[in-house]
Amino acid sequence: MIRTCAHCGARNRVPAARLADDGRCGSCKQALPAPSEPLDVDASEFADIVRDARVPVLVDFWAEWCGPCKAAAPEVARAAANSRGRALVLKVDTDRHTELAQRLQIRSIPNFIVFKNGAPVARHAGVVDHRRMQAWLEQAAGS
């Protein structure tokens, strides 16, 4: 995954297994913190992160036209901020990545799946608040 340094703008390649870790920019050596926002990913990035992440991964399946997805977006962002370094939060646009949504049997959106060690451990369709999302991630981390 490519992360852009906030200080110098350099693009840094971060392996999926280290994505939840704080690091340093390869160019300016400034801090490159773990993501505190949801990461918009494609099918390939999704597969790499879910397979290799050493922390639980919450995936929000959504679409631009979906009103409930827009209502859930601030809660997803808050869950990502509150879970920085302890979990990863991904967003997958089901209109752009239909084959991934079909493979995971996403029938309604928003739809959330929590993965741990590459396997789904929790699933929920419909809007929920960030506290519920964080509870899923904490439960996955403890199992």
User: Which residues are known catalytic residues?
Assistant: 66, 69
Q: How far is CA 126 from CA 40, 46, 108, 123, 134, in A?
A: 19, 21, 8, 10, 16
Q: Residue 120 is inside which H or E element, if any?
A: strand 119-125
Q: Note whether 10 and 28 are within 8 A (CB).
A: yes
User: What DSSP state is assigned to residue 36?
Assistant: -
**Separation CA 131–CA 78 (nearest Å):** 9
Q: Note whether 81 and 123 are within 8 A (CB).
A: no
Bridge partner residues of 115 (DSSP): 57, 120
**Separation CA 14–CA 2 (nearest Å):** 6
